[in-house]
């Protein structure tokens, strides 16, 4: 089958993540799209010897990628609003699909970009532009399309949240944490965009537009950053029972839309108060669904690439699939559904909480731990409750390490057969995923 051909522009944090994810998940992506997806051409200004570009044609002239015959979808990951605008407009003009992670570009020039794309009949996808890996554009634009959205609010700059978290939890200095965020690939090329709230304002502009159905109006967004916050403010807020978070808020009122980005005190027990580090989180209130919450990594190479590649899949489907079947019903194409078996419950792995009712006699604990040890089950903690009357039975509560459920059941069968174990064990799985 003919591959979908990708022209990748830029070779920075997000582009490298995109190359890696496309390579690693090549066959999974092909099963979703219905055709192979291949990076054929890379627009690269400066070589990076540690990035493997084997089998990829390197193009020095970025704009040439937009018109290249060996490119179906142009992926813009250079950032900025000058060359990036020219590149995206040239790609649209050439009839190519476009994927971009560039929120500045969409917030400022999105109205003209989408008009051109509409006229030319091509798709411009920008999921990575807002809240990195969280599929928030898709959630609002498709998943919530039944609703009149009343408001949305969230932490939408990973660098800023990382800085505030490290300052408040570890007392670290602003400049030192910012330098770390830059080294980790979270920050914008000009980090004042993160610190002064401009990046969050770009994202909030985009969110308000898709939530409320208004044109993109970046200039109308009130913007205040975190640069003026001091450790003293953070400590004072803490004493009062609050966290300080940098929030974007877009809210419909009777008289118009509030569109604002600024530091905010929030009670410590609120969900958003506990979203830390590079994580982003958004709450969206629809009139039918009520409040909904979305959280995940807001920046970083592979998390952002997750959104870029999802957009590539979406655009590729518009190029290849039968219009009646653009999104396969089961996400993968019907003839590409796999044969991985579903495991029976005794084949799963889990940690366990066990409660055993035992006779209060010497040696009972060692009999139990021996049976667990025989099945290579480690004990993370053990609590034996005290009783008043020496003839009473006592509960023993154990937390185990992760083990195959069949092994746990075998050990429990032996434990329950012990004379000193008086009742069937209570076994509750301890989940470490959530
Ligand atoms: N880093 C993240 O976590 C993240 C998350 C979401 C969105 N984004 C967005 O993704 C885009 C890329 O971000 P990044 O972090 O990968 O940036 P980066 O600075 O790591 O990479 C940018 C790449 O583009 C190239 N480039 C920049 N200007 C160029 C020019 N004029 N001509 C030719 N090449 C040029 C650079 O050489 C570099 O290879 C930006 O729009 C950014 O806002 C980044
Ligand atoms: N600099 C941005 C990248 C993700 O958009 C952030 O820290 O959130
Ligand atoms: Na996103």
pLDDT digits (tens, 9 = 90+) for 253-301: 989 999 999 999 999 999 999 999 999 999 999 999 999 999 999 999 9
**Alpha carbon of 258 to ligand 3 centroid (Å):** 22
Residue 378 to residue 295: CA distance in whole angstroms: 33
Confidence at residue 388, expressed as pLDDT on a 0 to 100 scale: 67
Domain annotation for the chain: domains and CATH numbers:
4-132+303-336 (3.40.50.720), 136-297 (3.30.360.10), 345-430 (3.30.70.260)
For ligand 2, what atom is nearest to the CA of residue 304? 4
pLDDT score recorded for residue 392: 79
Q: Which atom of ligand 2 is nearest to the CA of 203?
A: 5
Percent of the chain with pLDDT over 90: 86
Closest approach atom of ligand 1 to CA 17: 16
71: CB partners within 8 A, 6+ apart: 5, 6, 7, 40, 41, 65, 96
Q: How far is the CA of 363 from the centre of ligand 2 (A)?
A: 58
**Per-residue pLDDT averaged across 187-212, rounded?**
97
pLDDT at 341 over 70: yes
- Return the number of other C-beta atoms located less than 10 Å from residue 83's C-beta: 16
Instruction: Tell me the C-alpha distance between 296 and 310, whole Å.
Output: 15
For ligand 3, the distance from its centroid to the CA atom of residue 305, given in whole angstroms, is 10
Which segment of 247-251, 339-343, 416-420 scores lowest on mean pLDDT? 339-343
Ligand 1 binding pocket includes 185 (Cβ within 6 Å): yes
| 38 part of the active site | no
Predicted confidence at residue 340, as pLDDT, reads: 86
Res 328: pLDDT: 83
The per-residue pLDDT for 422 is: 96
Q: What is the ipTM of this complex?
A: 0.99
pTM over 0.95: no
CA neighbor of 108 nearest in space, from 90, 85, 83, 131:
85
Ion ligand 3 neighbours, Cβ < 5 Å: 127, 130-131, 134, 307
Candidate list 203, 243, 245, 251, residue with the active-site label: 203
CB 75 within 8 A of CB 7: yes
Specify the DSSP class assigned to residue 228: T
């Amino acid at each position: 089958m003919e591959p979908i051909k990708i022209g990748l522009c830029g070779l920075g944090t997000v582009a490298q993540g995109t190359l890696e994810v496309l390579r690693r998940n090549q066959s999974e992506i092909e099963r979703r799209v219905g055709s192979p997806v291949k990076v054929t051409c890379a627009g690269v200004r400066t070589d990076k010897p540690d990035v493997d570009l084997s089998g990829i044609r390197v193009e020095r002239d970025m704009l040439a990628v937009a018109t290249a015959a060996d490119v179906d979808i142009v992926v813009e990951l250079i950032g900025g609003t000058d060359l990036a605008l020219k590149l995206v407009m040239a790609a649209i003009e050439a009839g190519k699909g476009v994927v971009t992670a560039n929120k500045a570009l969409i917030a400022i020039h999105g109205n003209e970009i989408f008009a051109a794309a509409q006229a030319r009949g091509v798709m411009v996808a920008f999921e990575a532009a807002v809240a990195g890996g969280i599929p928030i554009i898709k959630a609002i634009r498709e998943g919530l399309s039944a609703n009149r959205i009343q408001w949305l609010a969230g932490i939408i700059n990973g660098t800023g949240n990382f800085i505030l978290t490290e300052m408040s939890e570890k007392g670290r200095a602003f400049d030192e944490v910012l330098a770390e965020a830059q080294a980790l690939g979270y920050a914008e090329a000009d980090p004042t965009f993160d610190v002064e709230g401009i990046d969050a304002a770009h994202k909030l502009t985009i969110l308000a537009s898709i939530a409320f159905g208004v044109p993109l109006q970046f200039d109308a967004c009130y913007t205040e950053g975190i640069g003026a916050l001091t450790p003293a403010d953070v400590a004072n807020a803490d004493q009062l029972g609050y966290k300080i978070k940098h929030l974007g808020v877009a809210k419909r009122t009777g008289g118009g839309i509030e569109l604002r980005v600024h530091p905010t005190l929030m009670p410590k027990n609120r969900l958003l108060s506990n979203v830390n580090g590079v994580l982003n989180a958004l709450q969206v209130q629809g009139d039918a669904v009520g409040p909904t919450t979305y959280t995940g990594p807001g920046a970083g190479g592979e998390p952002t690439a997750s959104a870029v590649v999802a957009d590539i899949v979406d655009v590729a489907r518009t190029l290849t699939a039968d219009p009646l079947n653009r999104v396969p019903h089961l996400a993968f194409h019907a003839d590409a559904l796999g044969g991985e078996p579903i495991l029976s419950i005794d084949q799963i792995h889990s940690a366990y909480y066990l409660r055993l009712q035992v006779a209060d006699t010497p040696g009972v604990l060692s009999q139990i731990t021996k049976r667990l040890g025989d099945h290579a089950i480690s004990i993370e903690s053990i609590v034996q409750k005290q009783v008043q009357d020496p003839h009473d039975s006592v509960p023993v509560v154990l937390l185990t390490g992760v083990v195959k459920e069949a092994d746990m059941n075998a050990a429990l069968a032996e434990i329950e057969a012990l004379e000193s174990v008086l009742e069937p064990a209570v076994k509750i799985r301890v989940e470490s995923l959530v």
